Amino acid sequence: MENILKILHKDGVFVSESHYLASLIKTVQYDTIYHEHLRYYSLMSLNYLFNKYNLEVIHAKKINTHGGSIRVYAAYKNKFKKDKSVKKILTFEKNYLNWKTFNEFRTKVVKSKLNIYSILKKLKDKNKKIYGIGAPSRASTLINYVGLDENIIDCVLEIDGSYKIGNYIPGKKIPILSEKKLYQDQPDYVILFSWHIASELKTNLKRKGFKGKFIIPLPVPRIES
């Protein structure tokens, strides 16, 4: 914040984007909680932070990045008229971000784990082959929390050129291999760990020749064609 003040013109506007706490809770994004993400902002928390440095939020907008983010515009106090979006989002948060919501989130996380495992168990009982697609950091959180291993997911695939190829999912013996293996082996199912862009991934994988089905782990675990 001190460095922002050094570079911000008196009539300037500072724009930031943060992973949005309300979206994280609403879509059960426990998989995005890991070492790089130490803070999860609400507009209330950002408003509090800016106020401490003689700044104020003049406009706010919810965006789809990373499964739900918030774009916030801040400026020195009394320089610009506040957009109605600020009051609207703050009012929403005051009603939504409470202990009841957090407790419900905890329950949904546990149920999500059980539901994912239930889907995978039924498939493995039928000797179905399951690969993973994408090895972002969020995949490590989900895999380790749910308790998946190489006996459930044969491998996780990354596009050629990824430095992750030839390594393993952290904490597990699930190998990370080239995406080419998907089209050669044609497994029955793939689980999309970057589920927040599932529609784009499905279209891309089908176009490249994948003929199986997709497991979407969050926010509600399900199978899609």
Q: What is the CATH number of the domain that holds 157?
A: 3.40.50.720
Using DSSP, how many helices (H) and how many strands (E) does the chain show? 8, 9
Residues 133 and 92 in one domain: no
Strand partners, 189: 130, 213
Q: How far apart are CA 14 and CA 9, in angstroms?
A: 9
Residues 87 and 123 in one domain: no
Domain range for 206 is: 116-224
Indicate whether 108 belongs to any domain.
no
Tell me: the pLDDT tens digits for 51-81? 999 999 999 999 998 889 999 999 999 999 9
Residues 72 and 120 in one domain: no
Indicate whether 107 belongs to any domain.
no
- The whole-number pLDDT of residue 182 equals 97
- The whole-number pLDDT of residue 151 equals 95
Sign of CA dihedral 55, 59, 65, 66: positive
The whole-model pTM stands at 0.85
Check which CATH number belongs to the domain holding 85 and give it: 3.40.50.150
Indicate whether 81 belongs to any domain.
yes
Residues 37 and 132 in one domain: no
Confidence of residue 171 (pLDDT cuts 50, 70, 90): very high
Residues 120 and 212 in one domain: yes
Over 80: is that where the pLDDT of 37 sits? no
Indicate whether 80 belongs to any domain.
yes
- Of the candidates 44, 68, 97, which is a domain's last residue? 97
Indicate whether 106 belongs to any domain.
no
Indicate whether 20 belongs to any domain.
yes
Indicate whether 110 belongs to any domain.
no
How confident is the prediction for the chain on average, in pLDDT?
Answer: 95
- The whole-number pLDDT of residue 126 equals 96
Confidence of residue 38 (pLDDT cuts 50, 70, 90): confident
Q: Which two tokens stand for residue 79?
A: 């320089």
Over 90: is that where the pLDDT of 39 sits? no
Tell me: the pLDDT tens digits for 75-116? 999 999 999 999 999 999 999 999 999 999 999 999 999 999
